[in-house]
Amino acid sequence: MNALDREHVFIDGTWQRSAGGDIEVHSAITGLVIGRVPDGAAEDVQKAVAAARAAFPAWSRTALADRLDLLAKLATKVDERADELARLISAEVGTPLRVSTAVQVGLPRRVLQSYGELMEDFQVEEQVGDSLVFREPIGVVAAVTAWNYPLQQVLGKIGAALVAGCTVVLKPSQVAPLSAFIVADLIEEIGFPPGVFNLVSGRGRVVGEELVGHPDVDMVTFTGSTGAGRRIGEVASRTVKRVALELGGKSPNVILDDADFAQAVKVGVANCFTNTGQTCTALTRMLVPQSRISEVEELVRARLRKYVLGDPLDQATTMGPLASAAQRDSVREYVQVGIDEGATLIHGGLEVPIGVPSGYFVTPTAFSMVTPDMRIAREEIFGPVLSILPYGSEEEAIEIANDSEYGLSGAVWSGDRERALGVARQLRTGAVDINGSFFNMLAPFGGYKQSGNGRELGHHGLAEFFELKSVQQAPQNS
């Protein structure tokens, strides 16, 4: 038996044999099987939801200080196994090790820690006229996570739910589930109350559907594709439960004519190609003045020539493979689409990278003279492909930026901060970076339009896990 093989799901505080079969987990680096996890069945979900429902009353009444203490212990345990987790996620997803260490593991650990800070001034009770308004934990939460940032997805969702007083059933992505099992190991070691956290791995069409549609699940928090999000919304609506969806993106990077072009392109390319482009907020549409298009093309080429493809566990590697064969094939299909649509290929293409391991590698690719109607400008590719779109005026740039079914993120570059802010206000996206700002885990994260519903992180993200109750009080006699 492989050390990474997992034969049990985690339900009611114990590891239990799944009623289903198993799923092979493949290395993004080599394509070989590195582990197995249970292919959960409906019976597993029913047991997990029953355990979470039974544990909810006591957990919701547990003192906040006690809940925070358990989460602090979980953060410490994550720190202790950070190297192991980073290497594991690099193998599963293909993220270069230095990025895995800082982002795949370091960021979720800090997010977990942030919930304690946020709860210090989170208002759970307020007086509104003659009414007392309470925030109360919503109940049993189904957390369905994606594969691109697997530990962040898990810790971000379960941390918010647990600190709010909710109980959780987690279904991790079948592509990269192994770090979620380590989280379950840590929760068992710490001694969380039975049923507060449950893990059932498996496929979306079985475990996901049963979990999302279960009448004893009060809320679904999901990160993944817009197509899957639509299906979750449909299934969840049958039992009228809360649904928080963090879905796809096709984020615009608007470079205005007075911007520092060298810096804007440098940061824009880095953002687009981080994690081999497997990031929902990736700035995949670079909007530039028509008169500066040749300059931008050369700047992009110069940045992409510096990328070193290879084994993500090698410190010299700056871009690893995609997470799966299906993702590799999809990205290559989109590159062909871009060529067929008549976009100008300025770097990369369909050539298979040489001198790399046998996993799911593609060549970083950039197209120029892309028009807003092209598929590569409209559809989420979720891989290392950049589209450069020319515009004539600031008004046209804003129009192109907003001409999308998505609205997750965006960026604006300008030498005039107020001008940049004015454009940012007009972008229909849940977040906008100005001149290369940094990710703020205390700010709400989520999108407009088909990029989702609800928010994660910060006070706004915590609020998703509460119900509001108004208690009307008769006026006191004078």
* Catalytic (active site) residue 246: yes
Spatial neighbors of 258 by CB under 8 A, at least 6 apart, are: 414, 415, 416, 419
Angle, in degrees to the nearest 10, between helices 150-164 and 64-80 = 160
Number of other residues whose CB lies within 10 A of the CB of residue 1: 6
CB 173 within 8 A of CB 145: yes
- Helices (H), ranges, 363-412: 375-378, 394-402
Catalytic residue among 92, 210, 246, 456: 246
Nearest Cα neighbor of 433 from 414, 452, 448, 449 is 414
What distance in Å separates the CA atoms of residue 246 and residue 223, rounded to the nearest whole number? 5
Question: Which string of b and e fits 263-277 if b means at least 16 CB within 10 Å?
Answer: ebbbbbbebbbbbbb
Structure tokens at 238: 């049958």
- Can you spell out the DSSP letters for 274-302? GGGG--TT---EEEEEGGGHHHHHHHHHH
Nearest Cα neighbor of 344 from 374, 377, 366, 363 is 366
User: Active-site residues: which are they?
Assistant: 246
